[in-house]
Amino acid sequence: MILNDYKNVKLFRELIFEVHGHEKELLSKLSVDYRCSIYEKHGGKLVRCIRLW
């Protein structure tokens, strides 16, 4: 599923997704509403975000 409309993304309590480059811009946007952690595994990056409110 691709969610490029942030108002719909904010409906989710938890987000888990794989990132391929340029994660800093995405994480700075998400950090307003989510607390995110990045896990590196097998050459890829997995991001888990939990909504703050």
Number of domains comprising the chain: 1
Confirm whether 39 is domain-assigned. Answer: yes
Burial call 11-28: b when 16+ CB within 10 Å, e when fewer: eeeebeeeeeeeeeeebe
Instruction: Give the model's pLDDT for residue 24.
Output: 87
The helix (run of H) or strand (run of E) holding residue 26 is helix 23-30
Domain hosting residue 39, numbered range = 14-51
pLDDT beyond 90 at 13: yes
pTM over 0.85: no
Residue located via tokens 């994480």: 27
Instruction: Give the model's pLDDT for residue 3.
Output: 60
Instruction: Give the model's pLDDT for residue 4.
Output: 73
